[in-house]
Structures are given as structure tokens and as C-alpha cells.
């Protein structure tokens, strides 16, 4: 058997997982485990770079993500699932890489200033926050990963990871392959207010929502604002509900609701009921698996421990080479 290429990705533990995370990342991760040697982890240290003042949220988020990883179909027999903070080697590599990382590289990562602007209520003029992409680099290259499935927003982080890997290889020894972003085009998932689904906008449908809550959220979802009465004609292009149909409904259903919207032949509630049926088809197996896992927390912990052991072995192996290359011991 030829060795499969390694894929690695992480999910920051800064909230519960929602439908947007599932469509945009997790579903793809599930597919990749069939073809690659996949390492998937929960980035709990990264969550502290912006959430250091509220650590209690971290535990809840970590548990939710771990359960959802499994409920969504990540299979511990096919991929390695672990928690970042359990592999101290990431921190060691982060420190050693910090010796060779020019400040300017970190300062010019666009997310650095953007996030500081966006999260004005938090003090993000910290050492840890500046180092975010460097910690991410350590996460990736410590496993000598070849591919990193991420959204386009993460491309600058991947770019710096490649630069740092190259710098290390030039200064000391060829140790790290340059990781590549594995970009797959995913439809943008709108939240119930029409903006991008995000935990910080309060517009998300969470994988942990009960069917009742999920249904209620979709029923109160924004539609074409110009269509106020049942008899008004609408424009499906202006309705976030239709954008969700594009993701979850069949072509025929999409045509049917679009036509019905334009001619006022169908009401918004009726249109949403079709969407609910289709979203539930995706969520129901996840809900089912979630309740099994929640009833069996030991199993979930075992998965994480097994994954952590495996990841630690790989990380430690890399660190032996790194320490040696940098003149330690």
C-alpha cells in the first residue's frame, strides 16, 4: 500500500457548530477521510487568542465540537481526531518557530488588523493574538501535512505557513513540506437574517438545536423584504430562504419555489416548509447520532484520547528532528 498524503485541519473552539460550519467544512472533511490520512483537531488554544477573558465558553464549545465531529460522520477508524492543547509539542514548535519569524510577516497578515477592528470590545494588542498564524503554522507543519482544507479567508495564514516552513528548511535542514490550501468552492450559507451564518451574528442554526428550535428559526427567517403580503410577487434572488433551497433542495423543488415566489403562487410559509423538510433530512441523522453520543460520553472521550495518542507520536517524532536541527541536545 502506498502511504496516503496527509491532510490536516482544525476548528477553532469559539462557539457551537452550526449548519454553515457543516456545509462549509465538516462535510468536506468527512469526504476527505476516505482518500487521505486525515488529522482533524479542535483548536482550543486559538480560541483563547481572542477569547482569553471568557475561558468558561471554551469547555462547552470543545465538547460540542467533538460530539459534532463524530455525529457529522468523522470516523475515528479512518481519521485522527484530537485536541490541540493536549499535544504540548505544538507549543514547543510555536516557540522555536517564533525565533525565526520576522515580526513584519505577522503584522501584515490581513486578518490581524481586520479582527482587531471587528472585535473592538476586546484588547487584541497581545503577543498571543499576533502569533495566531504562527501557532497555526506549528499545528500544520508538525504533522508534515501536505494539504489543509480551509476557506478562502485562511489563505493568508497558509501563505505564512509556507514561508515559515521554507525559512526553517533553508536555515537548518529540509524537514517540512510546504503545506497547500485545499480550497473547495462551497456555497455561502446565509443565516436567518440573510447575513452570512455566524455565531457572532446570532443568526445561526446550530447542529445542537432541537428540531423544534431549528424549525422555528427557519419559519421566522427573512425572505424577500418586498414581499409583504401573500398576494405580493417576490424575487427569489433576494430571499435568503431561496439561497438555502439552492443548497438543500432538488433542482425541481428550486424551480417550483422560485416560480411560485415570482408569481405569488406559493406562500413563504409553504416555501419554508419544503426547506425544513430538506434541511431536516440532513440534520436528522446528525441529531440521532448526537443523542447516542451524549448518552455515551465515555466513548467520545475514548475517541479523543486515542486520537491524541496517535497525534502525539507523530508530533514528537517531528520535534526530535527539529530539536536536533536547531542545536538542542
Residues lying near ligand TRP in the complex (CB under 6 A): 8-10, 12, 43, 46, 136, 139-140, 148, 150, 154
- The x, y and z cell numbers of residue 224, run together, are 424577500
Residue nearest to ligand TRP (CB): 10
Question: What minimum distance in Å lies between the beta carbon of 122 and ligand TRP?
Answer: 16
| 13 versus 268: smaller Cβ distance to ligand TRP | 13
Closest CB to ligand TRP among residues 150, 214: 150
Q: Which residue has the cell 487584541?
A: 124
Please give the C-alpha separations between residue 185 and each of 36, 160, 178, 315, in angstroms, as whole numbers. 19, 22, 22, 30
Q: Are 181 and 148 in contact (CB under 8 A)?
A: yes
In the complex, the smallest distance separating the C-beta of residue 134 from ligand TRP, rounded to whole angstroms, is 11
Smallest separation (angstroms) from ligand TRP to the CB of 43: 4
Shortest distance, CB of residue 46 to ligand TRP, whole angstroms? 5
Name which of 90 and 290 has its Cβ closer to ligand TRP.
Answer: 90
Looking at beta carbons only, is 38 or 148 nearer to ligand TRP?
Answer: 148
- At closest approach, how far in Å is the CB of 219 from ligand TRP? 30
Nearer to ligand TRP, 136 or 239 (CB): 136
- CB nearer to ligand TRP: pick between 148 and 275: 148
Q: How far is the CB of 197 from ligand TRP (least distance, A)?
A: 14
| CA end-to-end distance (rounded Å), the chain | 36
Amino acid at each position: 500500500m502506498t502511504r496516503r498524503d496527509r491532510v490536516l485541519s482544525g476548528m477553532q473552539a469559539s462557539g457551537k457548530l452550526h449548519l454553515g460550519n457543516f456545509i462549509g467544512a465538516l462535510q468536506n472533511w468527512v469526504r476527505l477521510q476516505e482518500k487521505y490520512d486525515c488529522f482533524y483537531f479542535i483548536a482550543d488554544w486559538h480560541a483563547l487568542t481572542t477569547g482569553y477573558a471568557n475561558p468558561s465558553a471554551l469547555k462547552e464549545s470543545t465538547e460540542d465540537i467533538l460530539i459534532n465531529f463524530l455525529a457529522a460522520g468523522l470516523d475515528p477508524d479512518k481519521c485522527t481526531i484530537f485536541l490541540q492543547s493536549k499535544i504540548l509539542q505544538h507549543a514547543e514548535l510555536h516557540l522555536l518557530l517564533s525565533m525565526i519569524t520576522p515580526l513584519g510577516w505577522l503584522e501584515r497578515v490581513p486578518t490581524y488588523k481586520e479582527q482587531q477592528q471587528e472585535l473592538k470590545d476586546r484588547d487584541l494588542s497581545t503577543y498571543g493574538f499576533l502569533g495566531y498564524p504562527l501557532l497555526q503554522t506549528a499545528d500544520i507543519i508538525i504533522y508534515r501535512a501536505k494539504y489543509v482544507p480551509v476557506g478562502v479567508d485562511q489563505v493568508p495564514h497558509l501563505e505564512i505557513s509556507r514561508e515559515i516552513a521554507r525559512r526553517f528548511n533553508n536555515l537548518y535542514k529540509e524537514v517540512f513540506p510546504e503545506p497547500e490550501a485545499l480550497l473547495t468552492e462551497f456555497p455561502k450559507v446565509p443565516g436567518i437574517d440573510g447575513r452570512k451564518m455566524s455565531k457572532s451574528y446570532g443568526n445561526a442554526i446550530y447542529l445542537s438545536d432541537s428540531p423544534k428550535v431549528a424549525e422555528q428559526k427557519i419559519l421566522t427567517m427573512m425572505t424577500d423584504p418586498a414581499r409583504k403580503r401573500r398576494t405580493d410577487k417576490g424575487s427569489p434572488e433576494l430571499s435568503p430562504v431561496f439561497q438555502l433551497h439552492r443548497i438543500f433542495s432538488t433542482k425541481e423543488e428550486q424551480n417550483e419555489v422560485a416560480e411560485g415566489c415570482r408569481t405569488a403562487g406559493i406562500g413563504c410559509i409553504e416555501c419554508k416548509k419544503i426547506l425544513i423538510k430538506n434541511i431536516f433530512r440532513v440534520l436528522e441523522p446528525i441529531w440521532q447520532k448526537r443523542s447516542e453520543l451524549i448518552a455515551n460520553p465515555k466513548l467520545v472521550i475514548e475517541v479523543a484520547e486515542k486520537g491524541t495518542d496517535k497525534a502525539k507520536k507523530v508530533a514528537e517524532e517531528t520535534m526530535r528532528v527539529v530539536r536536533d536541527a536547531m542545536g538542542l541536545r
